[in-house]
Amino acid sequence: MTKKFTTEDRNIVIKELEKIQQSKLKSIKPSRKLFVDEKGMYYVIFGGKNDWHGIRPNLFQQLQDYNKEGAFVVAKKYQSKIDLCVGSLSQLIIHQNRLVKTKNGDLQFHNVLTEDGLYIKEIPELYLNRVSEIYYGNRTKNLSRLKAVSKIINIEIQDAEQISHCDIQAKLILIGSYLGYRTYTPDKSKNSVYGNLGDLCSEANIPQDYIPPKQIDTIKFIDVIWFDEEGFPTHAFEVEHSTDVTKGLLRLYQVNKLKIKMFIIADENIRGKFEREVMKKPFHKIKQEYIFKNYSELDEFFDSVKNFTLLQKQFLNEVKA
């Protein structure tokens, strides 16, 4: 799917708005962004992957005599969906002088994403609620990959005492893969009892679309990262098998602004040190965001996935007698 907001994308958004509003929309020329429905309500529609949008001044000229409330629509495009966010058109019109002016005389505004919508950076009080998520393309799981994972995940380690740092990373990668996350590790050349870590991961390189450039050099060295289908980092794991827990805390601290769930995975006897370290500067500021899980808890989670894969095969009659 192209990153550009296409005519097809715009038509999809219009159809969704028509379904929500129960009213047909028609274009108001010459702008490609301005529409009116059968009830006389105006809609200004912006779309695309970027977090900024340009506005031609003549659009506001078209709106200057419109004194009723309308819909200010931003269709945020991702790899497999479009988030449809709607706010007050009158607030955009009233505060148009706060928008950024470009050298060629156009105006710009910037989106700031939130959990359930977005707001306009230049007009913080102008909030757009997410009213719909429009999905397209193939959203089904890669079944061939899941079958491969289900075989690997059932490998038994004969000597639990010999489990390595890479084996723990492999467990995290396999769990993430089976749960439908995209997975990454910087240790692609290293081997575990479950196989080469690079082969187990879905991503050869770290997805960078939603990570600020300044944080790439930090996050790419975290032991294991899970990403959602769009490429947003969701879970970060630092395995402290024989290294200093403070280093793991620091690496995670540097990416906490991504609102990513941050885990320290270590032996239970490390928990005390973990609890002392998170009370120190600078970690104490976000101590509640760190999550400690010991190896037994990880093994329990891993075993539950193993058991599920077995039950799945039995139910689907995929187990040979």
pLDDT tens digits for range 221-247: 999 999 988 888 999 999 997 667 999
How far is residue 127 CA from its own chain's centroid?
Answer: 21
Q: Do both 220 and 159 map to the same domain?
A: yes
Mean pLDDT, range 125-139, rounded to an integer = 83
Q: Do both 163 and 125 map to the same domain?
A: no
Q: Do both 304 and 186 map to the same domain?
A: yes
C-alpha triplet 179, 148, 204: angle, nearest 5°: 75
Between CA 181 and CA 202 the distance in angstroms is: 9
Q: In this structure, which long-range contacts are made by residues 97-100, counting pairs with CB atoms below 8 Å and at least 24 apart in sequence? A: 98/122, 98/123, 99/55, 99/123
Question: What is the model's pLDDT at position 4?
Answer: 75
Question: What is the model's pLDDT at position 34?
Answer: 94
**Structure tokens that stand for 222 in this block:** 């975290």
Q: Do both 245 and 168 map to the same domain?
A: yes
Residue 72 confidence (pLDDT) above 50: yes
Between CA 139 and CA 144 the distance in angstroms is: 15
Q: Would you say residue 287 lies in a domain?
A: yes
Residue 203 forms beta bridges with which residues?
none
Question: What is the model's pLDDT at position 136?
Answer: 74
Q: Do both 114 and 169 map to the same domain?
A: no
**Structure tokens that stand for 268 in this block:** 């239970």
Q: Do both 199 and 298 map to the same domain?
A: yes
* Number of domains present in the structure of the chain: 2
- The torsion region of residue 195 among left (phi > 0), alpha (psi -120 to 50) and beta comes to left
**Structure tokens that stand for 219 in this block:** 């996050």
- Residues whose CB falls within 8 Å of the CB of residue 230, separated by 6 or more in sequence, listed in order: 78, 79, 80, 81, 209, 210
Q: Would you say residue 321 lies in a domain?
A: no
AA letter at 138: N
Q: Do both 162 and 297 map to the same domain?
A: yes
Mean pLDDT, range 40-49, rounded to an integer = 94
**Structure tokens that stand for 181 in this block:** 């996350």
> Is the C-alpha dihedral spanning 282, 284, 285, 287 positive or negative?
positive
Q: Would you say residue 1 lies in a domain?
A: no
CATH number of domain containing 91: 3.40.1350
- Of 135, 159, 182, the domain-final residue: 135
Q: Would you say residue 320 lies in a domain?
A: no
Q: Do both 61 and 93 map to the same domain?
A: yes
Residue 158 confidence (pLDDT) above 70: no
Between CA 195 and CA 271 the distance in angstroms is: 29
Position 2 confidence tier, pLDDT thresholds 50, 70, 90: very low
CB 225 within 8 A of CB 219: yes
Residue 119 confidence (pLDDT) above 60: yes
Q: Do both 60 and 168 map to the same domain?
A: no
Q: Would you say residue 74 lies in a domain?
A: yes
Question: What is the model's pLDDT at position 114?
Answer: 85
Between CA 47 and CA 53 the distance in angstroms is: 8
Between CA 166 and CA 187 the distance in angstroms is: 8
- Of 135, 160, 192, the domain-final residue: 135
AA letter at 150: S
Question: What is the model's pLDDT at position 318?
Answer: 63
Residue 183 confidence (pLDDT) above 60: yes
Q: Would you say residue 127 lies in a domain?
A: yes
Q: Do both 121 and 180 map to the same domain?
A: no
How far is residue 47 CA from its own chain's centroid?
Answer: 18
The boundaries of the domain holding residue 266 are: 143-315
Is the pTM higher than 0.85?
no
